Structure formats: structure tokens, C-alpha cells
Structure 1
Amino acid sequence: MHTHTTAPVVLDRREGPYGEVVLRRHGELLQIIANGCFLMDTSDGRSERLLVDAARDALDDRPAPDVLIGGLGVGFSLAHAAADPRWGRIAVVERERAIIDWHRGGPLAGLSGAALADSRTEILHTDLVAYVEGTDDTFDALCLDIDNGPDWTVTEGNNSLYSPAGLASCKARLNPGGVLAVWSAQPSSIFEDSLRNAGFCGVRTKEIPVARGVPDVVHLGVRAA
């Protein structure tokens, strides 16, 4: 385990519509901080990759399924999806212009450059909640990683995504047999119930072992075929 003797260095700091976002380097890691709250860093990526794989595995063997990834973050989910030739269209919704800029030729380009150059990839600069409520677009998989989980949202507005209306909107964005996968820092039986109440079937929770503490999880639900 590396111990960081150096203090974090701020690479960019922006005031966005949802408050302040900061990109900083701490030793070899790049970290994203939102309104003083640590969001994510480039240390692992295991759970972001599992989020995408769990969604893919839950789908039937339809050719080239389309996926919507909620949250660009440090780019692990996007890079992992683009590295899999089985996916069709890969759309990523990110509401922070700063984060998109950090990937397009900024410090995070090393993680996502190849994925952004992939012709299947498209970045949508918009709020995820507004997007799922307002678009007619449909996908075979929705992979959502915009919070620390349904019980611990980064901003107040994100709560509505996990509400009955928000889950109904997510379901409406899915093609029949499509899968909703939601990352969470801890299992939530309440959220499992919410998925069932919203009419999702095959609801289950997949654990991602972490070095210590409570495992991360991916909550899965399928729109009936």
C-alpha cells in the first residue's frame, strides 16, 4: 500500500451549476471532489467495470445492445464498455462540463482517450434525471453511477431518480428485456423493494468485494420482455 507523503495538488477548480468541482492529483491518483465531498479517484475501477459487465451479463444474447452510462466520472465505466466489442451504441450522460473537458484532452484523457475516439461513443452534456425524464431514446442497458448509492445522493435533485417516478422514467428508457444496473456503496433492501414496486423483474444485488469494509454492490432489475 503506497503512503502519500505529498499533499494533493489541485489541477483544476470550476464553479458549475451544481457547485464546485475540483480535479486534483494525489501521488499517482487523480481525484474528483464535488462541493468538498470526495467523489472518486483513479485507484481501482473494479466496481465501475463490474457495473457494466453485470448489465451485459443480465441481458439476453441480443446483438450489439445499446448502453446508457449515467456519470462519466474518471472514465472507468466508459473505457470498459468501449473495450468490449459486444456493445453497440455507448452513450454517457455527464452534467459537469468540467469533467467532460478533463477527459477531452485534459488530465483524464489517458483513461478515456481510446473510448472517446470510438465511433460507438457519444457524450451527452446534460443532467441524468432531466435526460431520462425528457428523452424518447431507449437503450438495452442503463448503468447508473452518479451517487454513492440510492441512500446517499451527491445532490438533492438526484433523489428523484430513485423515486417511483424516477424509476418509472428509467424503465421507460429501456427496451423490453433491458436491464437497469445501479452502483451503490452499500446494499439497500429498500431500493430493491422500490425496483420491484416500479415493476422491474429479476431484481437482485451483486456484491463487489472491497479491500475492507462493506462491499460495494450493483442493484439489478429487468424490464419485462
Structure 2
Amino acid sequence: MGRRFEELDWRETPMGAISLRRRLDPALNVDVYEVKLDDDYLMSSLFTVAEEELGRLGLAELPGADLDVVVGGLGLGHTAAAVLDDPRVRTLTVIEALDEVISWHRRGLLPLAGRLTGDPRARLVRGDFFALATDPAGLDPDSPGRRFDAVLVDIDHSPRHVLHPSHAAFYTPAGLRRLAARLRPGGVFALWSDDPPDDGFTATLSEVFRAVRAPVVTFPNPLTGGQSANTVYVASGAEGDRPSGG
């Protein structure tokens, strides 16, 4: 176990002051890793079930093998690790806006860091996911126009509670159509949300994708002794899909 409390990193970023903290939870007797942006808690290693399910639910929709996957948002690495657990995955591109977060993994400050940086299928890319999703060159700066089997996103708290106002346009029909153009035929877009299923956003997804669902992922909350829940939106069958191609 580590110290009772330790700030592993703190830096000013264009989005605010980001910090990585590790604390010993005396009730559970485990080290808890937490990320804060200014005074806003972004993530905690106590609550990773839904982040892992984002990877599993998204890939479960896909048949076949040799999958090329994008994860938008690195965080503590749980979605990326869940993707790498699937042996069908050929490549994983993780897009993270903050150098600081990538540095935590490359410096080995987080429990899953070795898995992500040591897997030859995985690549950590510094970039603004939302800007790349609308860029004509696409999501892979090294391969303009490249398309993917799945794009899995865990960045904002929810489609209506975004970390920066510039992200809001992504959650509109126009923004989602641009994202869908980065998918191969039959490809999947999946999104983590901290809020309950939003009928309005589900309707927006349905303007772009033929198959949309919003399963609720429940998990134990050790802080309350009860259950908590997140939502994972899963969408496939974008407009313009054809039965064959790549």
C-alpha cells in the first residue's frame, strides 16, 4: 500500500489545473487513484466498471477479427485495457488531449500503465479527439482518411455536461455524421455517460445510426454501500453503410 495521501502530479493545462492523486482508503484498505480538473473530479479507480464495459459493449457488436479501434480519452486506462483484452483487436489508437495524462502512463504512475505502453497493438496519440473527428484527414494523424471498426469515447461527463463548450457540437447530428464517416461499414460508435439514458440524445443518434441502444451499467458503490449507474450508448449502421468494403 502507498502513503495515506500523495499528489503524484499537478500541472496547469489549457483546460485548467489537472492533478493525479493517490490515497489509501482506510475502509477498503486499497490505493485509490483520482484525477481532478481544477475542483472537478474527473475519475476514480474506485469506479471503473462502466469504463471497462464501454470497451466490451462496443466490441461485442462487431463480428470478425483484425479490428482497428479508436478510444477517445485515455484517463486511467481502463477502457483501453478492456479493448486490448479482446484478442480480435489488431490496433488500438488512444487519443488524449493532455500531454500530462499520456505522461502519467509513460512514467508508470498508474496501475495499468505497463499494459498499455507495453502492448505493441496500442498507440497513445496526443490530440484533440473532437477536432480530429471533424478534420478531413480523420482520427489518425499518420494515416489521413483511415477508417476504423469502432470508436469508443469517454471524455465528457455526458452529452449535455461537457468539459469544454467546444465539445458540444460533436453531439449534434452534424457532428455525429462526421464521426460516422470515420467508421468502416458496420462499424460501432459507443459513448460513456455519467447521466441516465437521455431520450433526446438517443433520438439524435437515431438520426445518424440505424441501431441505437443505451444500456445502463450498474456497479457497487463502496462509498455509499449501495449501487451506482452509468450509461453506455452503442450505435451502429450509420447512414451510407454498404454491405461490403473497408
Please, what TM-score do these two structures have when normalized by structure 2? 0.83
Whole-Å separation in 2 of the counterparts to 1:16 and 1:167: 27
Amino acid at match of 1:189: D
Whole-Å separation in 1 of the counterparts to 2:81 and 2:219: 21
Deviates more, 1:178-187 or 1:206-215: 206-215
- Tell me the secondary structure at the aligned position of residue 69 of structure 1: strand
User: Would the aligned equivalents of 1:181 and 1:218 in 2 still touch at CA under 8 Å?
Assistant: yes
Partner of 1:125: 126
Counterpart pick for 2:234 among 216, 220, 223: 220
Counterpart pick for 1:66 among 51, 65, 68: 68
User: Would the aligned equivalents of 1:14 and 1:21 in 2 still touch at CA under 8 Å?
Assistant: yes
- State the Cα distance separating 1:105 from its structure 2 match: 1.6
Partner of 1:88: 90
Counterpart pick for 2:32 among 25, 29, 49: 29
- State the Cα distance separating 1:83 from its structure 2 match: 2.2
- State the Cα distance separating 1:154 from its structure 2 match: 1.5
- State the Cα distance separating 1:213 from its structure 2 match: 5.8
- State the Cα distance separating 1:62 from its structure 2 match: 2.2
- Tell me the secondary structure at the aligned position of residue 88 of structure 1: strand
Unaligned runs of 5+ in 2: 25-30, 139-144, 221-225
Report runs of 4+ in structure 1 exceeding 4 Å deviation.
none
Partner of 1:116: 117
* Greater per-residue helix proportion: 1
Amino acid at match of 1:107: L
- State the Cα distance separating 1:64 from its structure 2 match: 1.5
Alignment of 1:1-225 (within 5 A): 6=4, 8-27=5-24, 28-59=31-62, 61-108=63-110, 110-134=111-135, 135=138, 136-186=145-195, 187-197=197-207, 199-211=208-220, 212=226, 215-222=229-236, 223=238, 224-225=241-242
- State the Cα distance separating 1:141 from its structure 2 match: 0.4
Deviates more, 1:132-141 or 1:68-77: 132-141
- State the Cα distance separating 1:164 from its structure 2 match: 2.2
- State the Cα distance separating 1:70 from its structure 2 match: 0.6
CA 1:83–1:41: 2 relative to 1, 3 Å: same
User: Would the aligned equivalents of 1:183 and 1:219 in 2 still touch at CA under 8 Å?
Assistant: yes
Whole-Å separation in 1 of the counterparts to 2:61 and 2:165: 30
Amino acid at match of 1:192: T
User: Would the aligned equivalents of 1:55 and 1:181 in 2 still touch at CA under 8 Å?
Assistant: yes
User: Would the aligned equivalents of 2:108 and 2:114 in 1 still touch at CA under 8 Å?
Assistant: no
User: Would the aligned equivalents of 2:59 and 2:83 in 1 still touch at CA under 8 Å?
Assistant: no
Please, what TM-score do these two structures have when normalized by structure 1? 0.91
Amino acid at match of 1:103: H
- State the Cα distance separating 1:208 from its structure 2 match: 0.3
Whole-Å separation in 1 of the counterparts to 2:134 and 2:232: 22
Q: Compare CA radii of gyration and give the structure with the larger one.
A: 2
